[in-house]
């Protein structure tokens, strides 16, 4: 006897709730072989088609940055114990993080190199690499599923995610759990950012949580002297920076990292939702003996429409938090390195052009629209996103959801991403 659609849907939902959805069909995150830059690099290394200087951990890290197209100027530092290698992290020995468009590297002095590279379908894949293995042995990216306890759990949006958290760090860097934490993206207010991180750069009279530690008080509140962490241009007075390539943790790099991780997570979640919705639709149609439709209908259509709104909100910086009065200023090195990866329009404009006075970028359409994850979105989802985006940019969208985008800005965005949009 065939089960009714409602019964099938309830059984499917119960199964998904019992196990993380990304471990179910059709994603099978942990069982799937990734197609990401870490696996590709390991194959090149094994075949002698790529080399890594293994003199010490720093040379390994620098060559990994080169292979993954990560600029050294992206360096940011976190001293809260919010990583797998917590025993090595301290306000005097922060963890250093570097990032590019499709890869992230973390390193704690004397420890393993943490690697997250993006598989367009699965999302971030997490690895540990021991930089001290004998040169007679090949470097190996060891997939580390334990990272999912944070990067695929309560702090991520139901999918494997890359995260920037702001906490209230105690004197040793341990988060004061009673004060909670914030997963930061472009919408997070300035004053709530960077708890447990070092921050260098100018930001006027506004205050953030970076560069200082907190003391828990008897009434379960805490004292975080945020005024002492403001407007630092280097970190030499806070700890010994000499082991690190740079004495900075640039404010602009931090804000770009937060934006990028937030958009990456939205794209991953939307893609997984669309893939599951289409998988369920086709499974139900086959079970009921109905014609299989490759275009979304019914529930799948609603899921994809909802996911489209999430993607557009992230790409178009909806509800972006205002920068402090007077804007922000980094040391310029990261901005120059970031700009080297620009795609320009005919008149020299780019989605990577910074504004830094009231908002992060001049044009409020994320450069992540050119990411591999976006390029490989589930086809119906990608089409729906681009169709809706075209309406928004042509001011033919019936809602006022993106009314904050002026006509000139929309015109420039159209010029920058015109090759992606559907033909008129």
How do residues 180-235 score in pLDDT, each as one tens digit?
999 999 999 999 999 999 999 999 999 999 999 999 999 888 999 999 999 999 99
344 token code pair: 């320009």
Comparing 146-155, 207-216, 315-324, the range with the smallest average pLDDT is 146-155
The whole-number pLDDT of residue 28 equals 97
pLDDT given at position 1: 42
Mean local confidence (pLDDT), 152-181:
92
Q: What is the pLDDT of residue 155?
A: 83
**Is the pLDDT at 11 greater than 70, yes or no?**
no
Residue 345 has pLDDT above 90, yes or no: no
Distances (CA, A) of 404 to 388, 400, 407, 408: 16, 8, 10, 11
Lowest mean pLDDT among 4-13, 62-71, 163-172, 256-265: 4-13
Side-chain half-sphere exposure of 115, counting CA atoms within 13 A: 29
When comparing pLDDT for 272 and 396, which is higher? 272
Buried b (16+ CB within 10 A) or exposed e, 323-338: bbeeebbbbebbbebb
| pLDDT score at 399 | 87
- pLDDT at position 408 is 96
Phi, psi angles (nearest 5°) of residue 236: -60, -30
Average confidence (pLDDT) over 302-315: 98
The token duo for 287 is 């079970």
Q: What is the pLDDT of residues 104-138, one digit of tens each?
A: 999 999 999 999 999 999 999 999 999 999 989 99
- Count of alpha carbons within 13 angstroms of residue 278, beta-carbon side: 18
> Residue 145 pLDDT > 90, yes or no?
no
Q: How far apart are CA 402 and CA 48, in angstroms?
A: 50
pLDDT category of residue 256 using cuts at 50, 70 and 90: very high
Q: How far is CA 230 from the centre of its chain?
A: 25
**How is residue 76 written in tokens?**
């940011």
**What is the pLDDT at residue 337?**
96
Weakest mean pLDDT among 11-25, 117-131, 292-306, 358-372: 11-25
Task: Kindly state the DSSP code that residue 210 receives in the 8-state scheme.
Answer: T
pLDDT at residue 152 greater than cutoff 90: no
Identify which of 14, 25, 110, 18 has the alpha carbon closest to the alpha carbon of residue 282. 25
pLDDT one-digit tens code per residue, 81-90: 998 899 999 9
Lowest mean pLDDT among 212-216, 241-245, 276-280, 397-401: 397-401
DSSP 8-state code for residue 322: P
Give, for 115, the enclosing helix (H) or strand (E). strand 113-119
Asked whether the predicted pLDDT for residue 3 surpasses 60, the reply is: no
Asked whether the predicted pLDDT for residue 2 surpasses 70, the reply is no
**Whole-angstrom distance, CA of residue 17 vs CA of residue 13:** 6
Please say if the pLDDT value at position 25 is more than 70.
Answer: yes
Radius of gyration (Cα) for the chain, nearest Å?
23
Tell me the pLDDT band of 6, cut-offs 50, 70 and 90.
low
154 band by pLDDT with thresholds 50, 70 and 90: confident
Check pLDDT > 50 for residue 16. Answer: no
Average pLDDT over the chain reads 93
> Above 50 in pLDDT, residue 14?
no
Residue among 63, 56, 91 nearest 77 (CA) = 91
**Segment 262-286, tens digit of pLDDT:** 999 999 999 999 999 999 999 999 9
């Amino acid at each position: 006897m065939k089960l009714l659609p409602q019964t099938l849907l309830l059984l499917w939902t119960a199964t998904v709730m019992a196990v993380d959805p990304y471990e179910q069909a059709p994603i099978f995150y942990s069982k799937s072989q990734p197609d990401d830059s870490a696996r590709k690099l390991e194959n090149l290394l094994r075949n002698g088609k790529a080399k890594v200087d293994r003199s010490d951990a720093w040379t390994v890290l620098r060559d990994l940055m080169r292979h993954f197209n990560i600029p050294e100027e992206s360096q940011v530092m976190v001293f809260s114990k919010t990583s797998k290698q917590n025993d090595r992290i301290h306000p005097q020995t922060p963890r250093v993080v570097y990032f590019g468009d499709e890869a992230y590297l973390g390193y704690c002095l004397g420890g393993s190199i943490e690697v997250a590279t993006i598989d367009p379908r699965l999302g971030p894949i997490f690895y540990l690499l021991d930089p001290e293995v004998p040169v007679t042995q090949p470097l190996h990216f060891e997939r580390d599923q334990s990272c999912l306890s944070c990067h695929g759990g309560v702090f991520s949006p139901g999918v494997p995610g890359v995260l920037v958290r702001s906490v209230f760090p105690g004197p040793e860097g341990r988060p004061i759990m009673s004060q909670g934490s914030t997963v930061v993206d472009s919408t997070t207010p300035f004053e709530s950012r960077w708890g447990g991180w070092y921050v260098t750069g100018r930001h006027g009279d506004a205050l953030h949580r970076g560069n200082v530690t907190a003391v828990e008080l008897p009434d379960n509140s805490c004292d975080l002297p945020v005024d002492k962490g403001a407007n630092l241009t280097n970190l030499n007075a806070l700890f010994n920076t000499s082991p690190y390539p740079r004495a900075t943790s640039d404010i602009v790099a931090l804000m770009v990292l937060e934006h990028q991780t937030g958009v990456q997570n939205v794209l991953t979640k939307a893609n997984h939702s669309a893939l599951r919705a289409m998988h369920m639709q086709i499974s139900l149609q086959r079970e009921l003996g109905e014609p299989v439709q490759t275009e979304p209908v019914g529930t799948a259509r609603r899921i994809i429409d909802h996911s489209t709104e999430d993607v557009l909100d992230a790409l178009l910086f909806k509800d972006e938090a205002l920068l402090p009065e007077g804007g922000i200023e980094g040391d310029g090195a990261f901005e120059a390195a970031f700009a080297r990866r620009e795609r320009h329009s005919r008149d020299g404009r780019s989605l990577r052009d910074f504004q830094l006075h009231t908002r992060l970028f001049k044009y409020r359409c994320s450069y992540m629209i050119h990411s591999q994850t976006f390029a490989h979105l589930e086809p119906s989802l990608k089409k729906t996103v681009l169709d809706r985006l075209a309406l928004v940019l042509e001011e033919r969208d019936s809602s006022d959801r993106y009314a904050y985008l002026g006509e000139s800005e929309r015109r420039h965005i159209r010029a920058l991403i015109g090759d992606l949009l559907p033909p008129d």
